[in-house]
Structure 1
Amino acid sequence: MKKVLLIGTISYCLMSSPVFAQEIDAEYNNKIKEYTTDSRFLPASVMNVVDHPTIPSPLKHFGEIIGSPGVMHNTSKIYEYYQLLAEKSPHLQIKQVETTEEGRPIYVVIIGNDDSMEKLDIYKNHLNRLADPRITTPSEAETILESAKPVYYLNGGMHSTEMGSPEMLMELAYRLVTSEEKTIKQIRDNVIVLINPVSEPDGRDKLVDWYYRYSKTRTEWDDGYPRSAPYWGKYVFHDNNRDGLQVSQAITKGIFSIFYEWHPTVMLDLHESVPLLYISTGTGPYNEQIDPVTIGEWQVMANHDITTLAAQGMPGAFTWAFYDGWWPGYGIWVANNHNSNGRFYETFGNAGANTYMRDLSNQKYAGDPATTREWYRPDPPTERVYWSARNNVNYMQAGVLASLTYAAQNAEQLLRNFYQKGVNSIRKGKEDSPKAFVIPADQKDPVMAAYLVNQLRAQAIEVHEAESGEYVVLLDQPYRNLAVTLLTEQKYPKEAKFPPYDDIAWTLGYLYGVEVQPKDSVEYEISSLKKVDSDVNYEGEISGSGNSYFIHYQAQNTVLPALYWIREQSKNAEIRVIKSEFVIDQDTLNVGSMMIKGISSSQAGELGKKFGLDLIRSSSAPESDKTHAVQLPRVAIYHTWFNTQDEGWSRYTFEQRGIPYTSIDKDDLKAGNLNSKFDVILVPRSRGTASDFIHGIDSRFGPMPYTKTDQFPSHGFPDSSPDITGGPGFLGIENLKNFVDAGGVVIALDNSTVMVAETGITRDLEPYTASGLFHPGSVVTVKAKKSNHPVLYGFPETFSIFRGNGPLYQVDLAKRGMMLLQYGTKPLKDEEPYTGEIMGMAKAESKQEEKAEAGKEPAYVRSGMVRNEQTIIGQGSIFNVPVGKGRIIAFTFDPLHRYLNHHDAPLVWNTLINWNDLGD
């Protein structure tokens, strides 16, 4: 191995700096040059990797440098290297913060100088004090600022096909602990660097196996070959970066755990997609509750990074034109939501370590081609780029080094901004309206009210309990802005120039079906409020006496799992749904309420506590012809192999609720005989056309096993197949139709209605195009067409649901009875009563009485934004389509969206409870 003794000056970025005598690894540097496809892609800042005498570089440890062609490392190898660095260097520590759904560890790596590493608890306490101005006066903050250090958190490997960051971060860590170059030493001395090497380890291992099993042999980028394994995490695919409001997956829990322990001043999430390096600021509209100080930091830091790369001659770095900055549920937005600064990069990537010719000629962002010179992209790339894994490492690492340098040189200002944002939040809580939110005690689903309290606490929002039982969120607290954004309606501007990047509404009261009241004044004695210090849990109560138990049904989320639990506890238990209002003493039970017989009083007590259900005990009983027996269904959840995103959310929801199911795929449909195994088949939302549902992944790439082997141990989970190419084919679709004909029920959600409506399983649903309709994820008003239909049990005539840009269908007027629920409250034109003259009848007989409207029609959009909403009002949102002896229940929205819209989920639970009594 050649070594060079370098004494003198290394120049890069915007500065030059003398260094101590260090041996530079000439072989490492030569390989960087060799694997970089263009000298313009080779910044000085990534050169001069030190050949340390006791700390092994990636080259020494792995035998190849980072970014070598054809080389990707799985999590065990990555973690092994960090463990080695921790053993060899006093400037690095590694500790586990979480465990994934499949049992892999999630680690955080801590890097700093001797002072930092010896006093980590002191520096963490400094940031904890600055995070809450209520416990830290301005003068105390000034004292802390004299010695505090910013914490800069780098998050890698969130999206598993974006494979470069877990590689780059290993080289960066080695550089940060070994180099004595002035700017690196400045970073090490002035900043505590946190690295989450692989935030989604389950997906990382699947994709590394996929790369070696399939992708490594590909020579053309645009050959149509699947670049990804069908699964990343156990449940969640690309949406693992849409879990920041739910905090449901291990990846998010790990990120939140790191944030709450350290209060990082800046967080940078390392992604890969657009050419050549996007540095986030966003086109806007920005989230209305983000402090302007944070928005200013986005701009300053992005332009600093772009300037630093430009000074090194690197083309293709840009900002602004990629996303908006509105949705607060990205993983890294834990920083923006909590007075820190959350940023992300998008580096150009090849989903592996191959080198490809990439064509940029058809790529556009914010309406401009990716190759044009703009104010936000002063040095664009050419239309063709020959791109390697090492290019990716160079760009990402040069950007990170630039940003770390900014933090090191502006440490006090970043920390001062962090403290000031907390001050601003508390001031707004005292001066602006609302000043508090109240969650009343009397809720139709008290379990969901408790869940809302717990979710607010998961966001570090303080909640108090009043003596009268309601929960109170006082807004003179550091995270006031987040509380406001979560609990109020969103008003996305209709005139926004560019389409939103994601969902645009998330009002938790609407999504959870919980009443939340904003208050312009605090109506409590503060001393009487008790801070909630642990998760709350609603336990149901039993009233009355008698041999039967009744559930007053209001579409509570826990009823269906409670019914499955009853079946497990007592095979002789009888459960009946009441099909008309039923009066017990002073209680009037809704249509859809339930009568339970054959359980003991102790079982009833456990039922109420376990599922948060109030039970009424009575000896009264409705007439038998006004009830129907509950026969709990055998449920299958179908997944395609070409898009598993939303079926993962459905599986997660079923498991969280305790609803049993069987996962099936194309092979099960082709095998047929479905009625012998299942009563209901749920088809979660899946992107694709009718052809995709029939034919699946192109069979010309097959056979393509997704099975666990000794060589590829991460594959075959959570499902496996000897060949994931091809779909169910026409035979599978015919077998699904036979299932419905024979009495089965298919529930199709959102775009998966294509599978039943456009493949011939039913011909009653005709695709409808609403001219000019733009319907990003928003909370909107719907109205029941058949209020007492079992699918709508527990819901009022008019309520809200969450809907995105899903498909629409229509049925002939003669079949309009299939429409159970409509969008908006006004009928379609052909449903409006005729009020004109009727020839052949006397005028008196033909005159129609006009019904006076009772009150003002509710607005269609409750939270979010819809353009040309008049084109969807009156159209069907849920259809009940008879096919033979069975039913198709077609939802033109997703009631199981990302484990967020819990208020809508009981529409699915109703279908399962009443699957054999869905009527006309």
Structure 2
Amino acid sequence: MKLKIVKHLLIALFISQLSIGQAQHIVSPKEHFGFHIGDDYMLANYKQMESYFKKVAEQSDRLIMQDAGVTEEGRQQYLLIISSPENLKNIEKYRSISQRLGRAENLTDEEAKVLAKEGKPVVWIDGGMHSNETVGSHQLIETFYQLNNSDDEEILNFLDKVIVLMWHVNPDGQDLLADWYMQYQDKEQRNMSIPRLYQKYVGHDNNRDFFMFNMVEATNMAKILYVDWLPQIMYNHHQTSPDGTIVAGPPYRDPFNHIFDPLLVTGIDGVGFAMINRLNKEGKPGYVRMDQSTFSTWWNGGARTAPYFRNMVGILTETFGSPTPMEVPVVTERLIPKNGLPNPIAPQKWHFKQSIDYSVSMNYAILDYAARNGDELLYNFYQMGKNSIEKGNKDTWTMYPKFAEQLEKTYDEAVKSGQEEKKEATGYYRSKIIPTKYYDAVYKNPDNRDPRAYIISADQADFATAIKFVNTLIKGGIYVYQSKEDFSYGGKHYPKNTIVVKTNQAFRPQIIDMFEPQDHPHDVQYPGGPPVRPYDAAGWTLAMQMGVSYDRIFEDLNIPLERTDYGILLHAPTNSVEVSKVGYAINGKANDTFIAVNRLLKKGVKVSRDEETQNFYVDAKGKAVLDEMAAKYGLTVTSLTQKPSTLTPINSLKIGLFDHYGGSMPSGWVRWILEQYEYDYELFYPQDVDSKNIAKYDVLLFIGPGIPVGDKPGITRWGKELEKELVPKEYQPWMGSITKETSVPILEEYVKNGGRIVTVGSSSGWVYDLGINVTNPLMEENKDGKLAEISSAKYFVPTSILSAEIDTEKAENYGMAKEAKIVFNNSPVFQFQSTDKLYSLGKFTTDKPLLSGWAHGQEYLKDTHLGVVALLGKGKVVAIGPEITNRAQSHGTFKMLFNQLYK
């Protein structure tokens, strides 16, 4: 009888296990998509990926799938949380531990050690940001499947010891790119030359938005990274590697940003070594790093670099490969083993599956590192946050290059004057030894301290834009304070609603970086040689770009303030409008005023510009719109008792914005800006110019490349143009380029007939060729006696912020401050003699205009004009050299565009 019972129990157990096994069957990618991930010439779109994620979520007990916002085109984004079933039952506990350690508030070291042992390290893995970088999106599928399906001992260990967050960054672009690639029946014709940007507005620049969070996808991602979860490692997949290699990854080259905690830098190194070791162990050569790669840790704004400013180990890899098979080329200098490339790869044919395998291996290397070092990762996360809080609570000096230069200069001058005896360099490295007193004079000088707080007064001219700036901080995990009453500090009065940002918080590096100038090292290939170009921007200080006024505070700020909760955005204070029979004045210095103007004009309300005050005058019929603007946007509206005498009526213009096949990112950013400020516009293309279809527009906008300058083409494209027959007919009108021979004469004729052309950035150089006596001052004679651009060894200004003097009497500059902080990227500048029909918008008046970043040879800019207005026939050209619309970040100079969009 007992044997019979045992037999029945065994049978029941077998059936139970069998049913569990069936319930836990995870559909494979091959079953779902119809092909293996990594098959040549095959891509999945996002609709298929979303369906797969949902299907696996129904089958797997290792997965929680959460809605996490929608994209610019309305697709759903998901956070995929993967770990062991036991960990997922306690997921809120582990999320809370990660948050508490990352914020490092109200914890002792002993409490933090306990939490670090109790918690699970959190690792973020994403893909699909740049849609033509298809390895990134497809490794996500394969890794997702293996983590949910495999019972391999190593994977079970990952799941037991690590929380994995997986994220598709750009669903919109995935559908666009994959559908385009797969539309061709002939596999040999499949290509990625899509007709428009793969993110609705900004394409590749979606990875330039991670301190600003303009795009909703960036905001969605920031909420998870910086508010909800705070992972210790963030892995951002990209393509492609330098020629002759397979992967570019960490450790990265110099410079790294001076405000990082050293634990962050060595933490990146630790993860990087784990990645390359695993690839080498698995016989996967071709990993390039350090000085052999182009990537540094200097810049803020990218998906993997922005986490550095929150003490998170950010990892970027660029992986070679494509669904269309490729060849690993022969590059002789990459055939020799060296520290930056210890395991070169031989030239060979390369298949998509190989790239997927590399990517999955690197994911596993990171998960293995986290599993082995989980408590250390968590405790170091706390330690970096604690260090930041302590720095914000005391006098702290960041070791910027400018201070080292100042120290050495002071010492050299003392030696030269005889005040100091020159000491010969000694030791193996022949170092110059400088007495300690010179160090103390710089690094203990109170004037060189970092601020402990910043006060953003509510009475500044454009407080609504200041609030937008503060909200970027809040989206990025910073908390702020706001006053509920007026207060005084340091002999200055501050009104109610003033905002205070204290630096004694875990994400202090981000605060300092958004307020303080970047001091990029003078980075050249050799002394006196050409510059080593920054990966992206050299300087970006957001408070400067946005035109925010603030006061630096260097002591503890003990005044009654109300602290905001993490992730809760601020709103502009509500204003009211008193009834007036005469009309209203609205603030011409506030950007949001232009929203009001556009709403009023669309409703047929009369609007004028007061030339004396530069404010807008609004007819009394506009009160309903002004009530809404004052309540929602905090717009300052003055009810008038007397109509101003110096009024110029304004009306809307029909706006054409230049674009081209493949999409223009600078133009795309301006599309987004125009929509935010409620301007109507249409896109036009090169063929519209050549067919004179532009006559229907009152104003044409060329932002960035477009119009050819000198011998340079107007548009530079990545990759070759498609054959026309491979492009569907609806997109063929977008093809072509603005040409000097055909298009430029038509543009000149358009202006002379009464049109207006506004250029920003590189297209502005077209005025050199218009025969109006405007020249390029950044030219010199070369060795052949011909004029050529000044060598980059002498002059080089990568994206940085410069100080310029603006002519505020010109209508084109109304509402601007006299001194502008303006984004400059080797931008055009101008030299000319002013006349009634040719005048300046502003100048660089000093030989040291640099405010933030790097400006080698900046003295060449002295007395050059940053913008020129040329009246030609019945129309005019407004050419602005600097990047006044830079990635929709430079709010402080938006008015220089907006003022051109009315008549």
Cα 1:69–1:226, aligned 2, differ >3 Å: closer, same or farther? closer
1:652 partnered with 2:668: no
SS at structure 1 position matched to 2:749: helix
SS at structure 2 position matched to 1:472: strand
Number of residue equivalences: 787
The structural deviation recorded for 1:100 is 0.9
Match runs of 1:517-916 below 5 Å: 517-525=551-559, 527-531=560-564, 533-540=568-575, 542=577, 547-554=582-589, 556-569=590-603, 571=604, 573-579=605-611, 581=612, 589=613, 592-599=614-621, 601-623=623-645, 626-675=646-695, 677-686=696-705, 689=708, 692-693=713-714, 701-705=723-727, 721-727=731-737, 732-754=743-765, 756-757=766-767, 764-767=773-776, 768=778, 769-771=789-791, 772-784=794-806, 786-811=807-832, 813=833, 818-826=838-846, 859-913=848-902, 916=903
Match runs of 1:227-238 below 5 Å: 227-238=193-204
* Maintained 8 Å contact 1:698/1:726: no
SS at structure 2 position matched to 1:146: helix
CA distance in 2, matches of 1:493, 1:341: 23
Cα 1:523–1:335, aligned 2, differ >3 Å: closer, same or farther? closer
Letter of the 1:736 partner, please give it.
L
Cα 1:528–1:125, aligned 2, differ >3 Å: closer, same or farther? closer
* Maintained 8 Å contact 1:701/1:725: no
Q: Which one is further off, 861-870 or 326-335? A: 326-335
1:149 partnered with 2:183: no
Letter of the 1:788 partner, please give it.
E
Match runs of 1:209-228 below 5 Å: 209-213=179-183, 217-218=187-188, 227-228=193-194
Match runs of 1:490-509 below 5 Å: 490-495=518-523, 498-509=532-543
SS at structure 1 position matched to 2:796: coil
1:118 to 64, 81, 89: 89
1:328 to 291, 297, 300: 300
2:172 to 173, 191, 202: 202
* Maintained 8 Å contact 1:202/1:232: yes
* Maintained 8 Å contact 2:592/2:677: yes
CA distance in 2, matches of 1:243, 1:427: 29
* Maintained 8 Å contact 1:160/1:207: yes
Gaps of 5+ in 1: 1-49, 363-368, 582-588, 708-719, 827-856
2:371 to 389, 399, 408: 408
The structural deviation recorded for 1:596 is 2.4
2:383 to 417, 420, 423: 420
The structural deviation recorded for 1:434 is 1.5
CA distance in 2, matches of 1:215, 1:289: 53
CA distance in 2, matches of 1:575, 1:646: 30
Letter of the 1:300 partner, please give it.
G
Cα 1:695–1:297, aligned 2, differ >3 Å: closer, same or farther? closer
Cα 1:724–1:542, aligned 2, differ >3 Å: closer, same or farther? closer
1:296 to 266, 271, 274: 266
Q: What is residue 785 of structure 2 aligned with on the other side?
A: none
Q: What is residue 853 of structure 1 aligned with on the other side?
A: none
1:76 partnered with 2:81: no
Show CA shifts across 1:357-376 (max 9, x none): 243539xxxxxx44442212
| TM-score, structure 2 normalization | 0.82
CA distance in 1, matches of 2:23, 2:354: 24
* Maintained 8 Å contact 1:695/1:727: no
Q: What is residue 108 of structure 2 aligned with on the other side?
A: 137
Match runs of 1:269-348 below 5 Å: 269-274=236-241, 275-320=245-290, 321-348=293-320
Cα 1:424–1:744, aligned 2, differ >3 Å: closer, same or farther? same
Match runs of 1:15-164 below 5 Å: 54-164=25-135
Cα 1:155–1:530, aligned 2, differ >3 Å: closer, same or farther? closer
CA distance in 2, matches of 1:86, 1:893: 49
CA distance in 1, matches of 2:127, 2:70: 16
Q: Which one is further off, 231-240 or 458-467? A: 458-467
SS at structure 1 position matched to 2:348: strand
* Maintained 8 Å contact 2:135/2:352: yes
1:396 to 332, 335, 359: 359
Q: What is residue 413 of structure 2 aligned with on the other side?
A: none
Show CA shifts across 1:4-47 (max 9, x none): xxxxxxxxxxxxxxxxxxxxxxxxxxxxxxxxxxxxxxxxxxxx
CA distance in 2, matches of 1:112, 1:734: 63
Q: What is residue 515 of structure 2 aligned with on the other side?
A: 487
Q: What is residue 14 of structure 1 aligned with on the other side?
A: none
Cα 1:698–1:413, aligned 2, differ >3 Å: closer, same or farther? closer
% identity of equivalent residues: 24
* Maintained 8 Å contact 1:113/1:188: yes
Letter of the 1:113 partner, please give it.
S
CA distance in 2, matches of 1:322, 1:705: 34
Letter of the 1:777 partner, please give it.
T
Cα 1:139–1:249, aligned 2, differ >3 Å: closer, same or farther? same
* Maintained 8 Å contact 1:255/1:331: no
* Maintained 8 Å contact 2:572/2:633: no
The structural deviation recorded for 1:744 is 1.1
Match runs of 1:366-377 below 5 Å: 369-377=333-341
SS at structure 1 position matched to 2:891: coil
The structural deviation recorded for 1:531 is 3.5
CA distance in 1, matches of 2:376, 2:201: 41
Q: Which one is further off, 593-602 or 655-664? A: 593-602
Q: What is residue 430 of structure 2 aligned with on the other side?
A: none
Gaps of 5+ in 2: 1-20, 397-449, 487-495, 526-531, 779-788
The structural deviation recorded for 1:450 is 1.7
Q: Which one is further off, 405-414 or 692-701? A: 692-701
1:253 to 200, 214, 219: 219
* Maintained 8 Å contact 2:219/2:475: no
Cα 1:520–1:728, aligned 2, differ >3 Å: closer, same or farther? closer
Letter of the 1:128 partner, please give it.
Q
Cα 1:78–1:546, aligned 2, differ >3 Å: closer, same or farther? closer
1:378 partnered with 2:397: no
* Maintained 8 Å contact 1:210/1:229: no
SS at structure 1 position matched to 2:78: strand
RMSD of Structure 2 on Structure 1 (CA): 2.8
CA distance in 1, matches of 2:252, 2:728: 38
Show CA shifts across 1:403-433 (max 9, x none): 2111111111111111111111111111134
Letter of the 2:146 partner, please give it.
R
CA distance in 1, matches of 2:869, 2:185: 44
Q: Which one is further off, 331-340 or 305-314? A: 331-340
Letter of the 1:89 partner, please give it.
S
Q: What is residue 205 of structure 2 aligned with on the other side?
A: 239
SS at structure 2 position matched to 1:773: coil
CA distance in 2, matches of 1:577, 1:328: 39
Match runs of 1:472-483 below 5 Å: 472-483=500-511
* Maintained 8 Å contact 2:599/2:625: no
The structural deviation recorded for 1:642 is 4.5
Cα 1:168–1:213, aligned 2, differ >3 Å: closer, same or farther? same
* Maintained 8 Å contact 2:600/2:622: no
Letter of the 1:726 partner, please give it.
G
CA distance in 2, matches of 1:695, 1:347: 24
Letter of the 1:335 partner, please give it.
P
* Maintained 8 Å contact 2:129/2:207: yes
| TM-score, structure 1 normalization | 0.81
